Amino acid sequence: MHVFITGATGWVGSAVTDELLKAGHEVTGLARDRNKAAALAAAGARAVEGTLDDLDVLRQAASSADAVIHTAFNHDFSKFMEAAAQDQHAIEMLGSALEGSDRPLLVTSGLLGLPPGATEKDAPGPGPRKSEPTARALAERGVRAATVRLASSVHGIGDWGFVPILVRMARETGVSAYIAGLQNNWSGVHRLDAAKVYRLALEQGVTEPVYHAVADEAVPFKQIAELIGRHFGLPVEPRDRDHFGWFAHFAGAELSASSAHTRSVLVWEPTGPSLVVDLDQPGYCA
């Protein structure tokens, strides 16, 4: 299978690229510059240069592929609304290139806006990020589009996601904090286990509208704060939401979820370390 991947050199996308290549698939990845293109070539993939704003590039690359995986997203949260709009337009273009065929599209999203302990059957509430609603709209037009919802922490050595944000905040403020009065949970998945969900979904024909790449279904946020505090010798204390600034929306969210259905239909069994075990490794929070 020839798969076109956006975000192919990113934290999740690079793991997906490696997983597909190891399984014998061909990969073409979107690369925003020559250095990224060289990294893809070194991994054994082809590269097409461009960004999510280059809609003609996206259309051409998707039209030439047997399947498309969209993992790219601009995580500059100071420009979140612009990033969400860019994401939506990119997904619409990728879907239009596949429309009228049976070639699948896997779109990436998260768990924010879902109920506690969410299952694959739960629909997200309204929010600025339109990844999943756009995929659902494409599916209604006959595109074989589905969404992979990632756990709140896609972890592993080299992590540049939410945990490093908490680490920076703890080191800058001198306290590893959790929100006072809350007992909220995050979820976790090792990046290599997440990559397997994408591969298995493609190989099995993308039969479901939603997949959950979730290994640890409910990890107390306070426990994450305690691990960070222990690593840096910092006190672990409750703080009000203002302490977290713009990140309070994530720090205080209930992001637990079930992956029972995904495990069953894909015969997916995570084998990587749990979030707690990973965070407890020397050097993870360096």
Local confidence pLDDT in tens for the 286 residues of the chain: 999 999 999 999 999 999 999 999 999 999 999 999 999 999 999 999 999 999 999 999 999 999 999 999 987 777 888 999 999 999 999 999 999 999 999 999 999 999 999 999 999 988 888 999 999 999 999 999 999 999 999 999 999 889 999 999 999 999 999 999 999 999 999 999 999 999 999 999 999 999 999 999 999 999 999 999 999 999 999 999 999 999 999 999 999 999 999 999 999 999 999 999 999 988 887 7
- Whole-angstrom Cα distance, residue 145 to residue 135? 6
The predicted model scores a pTM of 0.96
For 206, residues 6+ apart whose C-beta sits below 8 A from its C-beta are: 104, 105, 106, 144, 146
For 124, residues 6+ apart whose C-beta sits below 8 A from its C-beta are: 109, 112, 113, 114, 132, 133
3-state class (DSSP) for residue 40: helix
* Parts of the chain belonging to CATH 3.40.50.720: 2-150+190-213
Q: Write the CA distances from 267 to 36, 76, 150, 188, 201, integer angstroms.
A: 33, 35, 17, 19, 10
Decide if domain 2-150+190-213 falls under CATH 3.40.50.720: yes
- Whole-angstrom Cα distance, residue 221 to residue 250? 10
Per the CB < 8 A criterion, the answer to whether 259 and 119 are in contact is no
